[in-house]
Amino acid sequence: MQDFSKFWTIGLMSGTSLDGIDAALLKSDGHKVLAFGPRLTLDYDDTFRESLRALLGGQSPVEAVERELTLRHAAAVRQLIKQAGIEASEVALLGFHGHTIFHAPDQGRTWQIGDAGLLARETGIDVIADFRSRDVSLGGQGAPFAPLFHAALARDLEKPLAVLNIGGVANVTWIGAAGAQGVEMTEENLIACDTGPGNALINDWVERHTGQSMDEGGRLAQTGKVRAETLAQMLDHPYFALPLPKSLDRDDFDPAPVTGLSLEDGAATLTAFTASAIARVVPKLPEAPMRWLVTGGGRHNPTLMAMLSRELAVPVEPVEAVGWDGDALEAQAFAYLAVRSRLDLPLSLPGTTGIKQAASGGMFTAA
């Protein structure tokens, strides 16, 4: 078996926020993170973003958009290799997440579009893709999938600790104190779940009313008023009563209750909905986290971060506070998982996806 510690792996992530492609270089032996390389983001233009949005729910023909998505990922790979000043031969694997257009694990279905064969041909690099399907086929939720990477990064940090990713959907990794002694975690000291909405509802609300893709800096929410009755109605969703672990689709929550609110009040209420949904996870954890480290686009929203601090009443900080790169973390995670997949190491655990026993996954495509 190849010694991946001597080569770079590139992780690729197209998130449910529909903002673009993140690509990051990483070296790992499948257990420890050995080195970080450069990363980049290629933003989606409005036309392609709408093409992706039209596929959500898995109802529309995907072939043309899937091809374009894959070619954009290939361009990201080439650009990152050039930026890093390395040769393609120094990259052993691409961890290609693709783009989720439908996720219903209770129906035994999860669908990430992306053509691994085309990506391998375009780049000349072996590809690991389709990370989630095996977990779902074995009864798991198929998400979240970054917890083992979070645990590897957090080996030397004080615990219990929560790593919170706020993308289109928000998800949390809880790392218990027992994890301080090693990287290979068990369900007793590594628990994860999707908490509920992340940025998706806020972004959709702002785009629908202003044409802008997000509430830049949380300014609209900051000037609006949280409508308590509307918030309570949205929090009365059966998802929040489900036990951990659990996951959901980007569009599982109906934004109808905020219809009729002003732009600012809608943004404030939806932002409070994300924060309150995250806080609702805490009573279900074995022990309340001492600290929350936040990654993903949501950490750039000061209004959301302030709401989280009030809800959680412990330190809530961007992951940069411990030297991590929050704009690269998801892409780095799929680089790490690609190496683990090639070594047939677990990608998910009972405590992270609800799978009956730890399992590997991913599909290998040779260049």
DSSP 8-state symbol, 145? -
| CB neighbour class for 187 (10 Å; exposed up to 12, middle 13-18, buried from 19) | middle
| Mean per-residue pLDDT of the chain | 94
Q: Is the pLDDT of residue 281 over 50?
A: yes
Q: Is the pLDDT of residue 179 over 50?
A: no
Q: Helix, strand, coil shares of the chain as percentages rounded to 5?
A: 40, 25, 35
Q: Sign of dihedral through CA atoms 230, 231, 234, 235?
A: negative
Q: Is the pLDDT of residue 73 over 60?
A: yes
The pLDDT value recorded for residue 178 is 63
Q: Is the pLDDT of residue 180 over 80?
A: no
The identity of residue 241, as a single letter, is: A
Angle at which helices 263-279 and 302-312 pack, to 10 degrees?
A: 40
Angle at which helices 200-210 and 263-279 pack, to 10 degrees?
A: 170
Q: Which helix (H) or strand (E) holds 40?
A: strand 33-43
Q: Could you tell me the domains of the chain?
A: 4-141+330-348+357-365 (3.30.420.40), 147-322 (3.30.420.40)
The pLDDT value recorded for residue 15 is 85
The pLDDT value recorded for residue 286 is 92
What is the percent of the chain with per-residue pLDDT over 90, rounded to a whole number?
Answer: 90
Q: What is the mean predicted confidence (pLDDT) over 3-9? A: 94
The pLDDT value recorded for residue 294 is 98
Q: Is the pLDDT of residue 184 over 60?
A: no
* pLDDT tens per residue, range 8-43: 999 999 988 888 999 999 999 999 999 999 999 999
Band (pLDDT 50/70/90 cuts) for residue 59 is: confident
Band (pLDDT 50/70/90 cuts) for residue 186 is: low
DSSP assignment of 207-265 equals: HHHHS-SS-GGGHHHHHS---HHHHHHHH--GGGGSPSS----TT-S--GGGTTS-HHH
Q: How many CA atoms lie within 13 A of 356 on its CB side?
A: 4
Q: What is the mean predicted confidence (pLDDT) over 131-150? A: 95
Q: How many CA atoms lie within 13 A of 78 on its CB side?
A: 12
C-alpha–C-alpha distance, residues 146 and 166, integer Å: 13
Distances (CA, A) of 173 to 23, 41, 54, 191, 193: 22, 24, 30, 6, 7
Contact in structure between 195 and 172 (CB atoms under 8 Å): yes
The pLDDT value recorded for residue 60 is 82
C-alpha–C-alpha distance, residues 126 and 119, integer Å: 9
- Residue that has been written with the tokens 């994300």 in this structure: 274
Cβ neighbour number for residue 350 with a 10 Å cutoff: 18
119 vs 189, more confident: 119
Q: Is the pLDDT of residue 1 over 80?
A: no
What's the chain's Rg over C-alpha atoms? 19
* pLDDT tens per residue, range 215-272: 999 999 999 999 999 999 999 999 999 999 999 888 899 999 999 999 999 999 999 9
